[in-house]
Amino acid sequence: MWVFNVIRIVAILAVGKFFGETASIEILHPVAGLFTFNIAVLIMVLQAHRFGLTLPVFSGPSRTRAVLAAVPGAGRAMLGIVVLALLGSVFNHNLTAYDPISSSVGNPRVGKFSQVSLRPDGFRGERVGTFENGKRFFGEDSSWVRYQYAALGTSQLGSEVPVLADVINTGKLQAFSDFGIEACYRFHGYSTEGVKRVDLGNGVVGTVLNWADPDGLAWTTVYWLWAVREGSSLRYERVVLLLNDSNAARVASPPLEDSIARQVGIRADEAVRGAESGDVTARQDELRTFLVQFARTVIQSSADRSAQMPEPVEFGG
């Protein structure tokens, strides 16, 4: 058995040298052990007679009756196993959605927002401001930068109102839980409604909501958290997209389409979190649809640009 283990290790190293880390660690490594182990066991079984060993042979109706008596509903049990296996394969396949933003061991593949997220198709983002008062909440090494996306977009996705993006970058992930968006809005006296978790593509799940300040100025927000790589450092970002609900502004976007498996996962997550929701107006729904589609465009563009960067450092080993 140890011979096959050595062969497995040598094969992984060889593939890494000639074809790169991705082929070695993420393609070969997960299956190499299973494959070599099964080959080794098969050879051992075939050579058992050389050592005077034989495999037990079970036959006869008595044993069959005993097995059926022990499991009288074997057919139903097998059907249940098949159904669960099929459902499991569907959800397992959905894990590939995370590939553009995260490696198989959970390390980030996305560059920081300012590097990869300012050029989605049809839009251009530019830095318009910074906020220093966030350091007491998110750490002295944190940054809070506001960007503005301008342009009319594409033939299918566009807005006459600029989209703002507030991006907080920090090394303290817990800070985003301590100072959450909804809690911040409530603290400042803003009213919120329609809080809902949404699939933003590439394995990213965000939150969409509508809110208004005490003066009645209304906004639509979509935000998400993700881990990013900044050189050899692991950082975390909260991206908050903001769209002002101006009655004169027109937006255009295709309808939202989500997979059933992703929606089941998100609804289960909402049930556990006890997330609030509520009805929204037709105008709010129009703005929410646009902003979710815009967020998906930004994330897809970020993943595409990050894929062109050098191979990421595998943190923690």
Take residue 195 and report the two structure tokens written for it. 């809080």
Q: Which of 297, 274, 290, 176 is nearest to 225 (CA)?
A: 176
DSSP string, 31-55: HHHHHHHHHHHHHHHHTGGGGT---
Can you give the pLDDT of all 317 residues of the chain as single tens digits? 677 788 888 888 888 777 776 677 667 777 777 778 888 888 888 887 787 777 666 555 566 666 556 555 666 767 777 777 666 655 554 555 556 666 655 678 899 999 999 999 999 999 999 999 999 999 999 999 999 998 778 889 999 889 999 999 999 999 999 999 999 999 999 999 999 999 998 889 999 999 999 888 999 999 999 999 888 789 999 999 999 987 767 899 999 887 665 666 666 666 666 655 667 889 999 999 999 999 999 999 999 999 888 765 555 54
- What's the pTM value of the predicted model, to 2 decimals? 0.69
Take residue 120 and report the two structure tokens written for it. 């989605």
Q: Which of 177, 308, 314 is nearest to 238 (CA)?
A: 177
pLDDT tens per residue, range 278-291 = 678 899 999 999 99
Which run of H or E residues covers position 242?
A: strand 233-244
Q: Which residue has the tokens 């299956």?
A: 31
CB atoms under 10 Å from CB of 10, counted, come to 10
Give pLDDT, residue 63.
60
Please list the residues that pair with 125 across neighbouring strands: 149
Mark 187-224 as b/e (b = at least 16 C-beta within 10 Å): eeebebebbbbbbbbbbbebbbbbbeeeeeebbbbbbb
Which run of H or E residues covers position 228?
A: strand 218-230
Take residue 279 and report the two structure tokens written for it. 């009805």
Taking each helix axis as running N to C, give the angle between helix 2-19 and helix 29-46, from 0 to 180 degrees, rounded to the nearest 10: 150
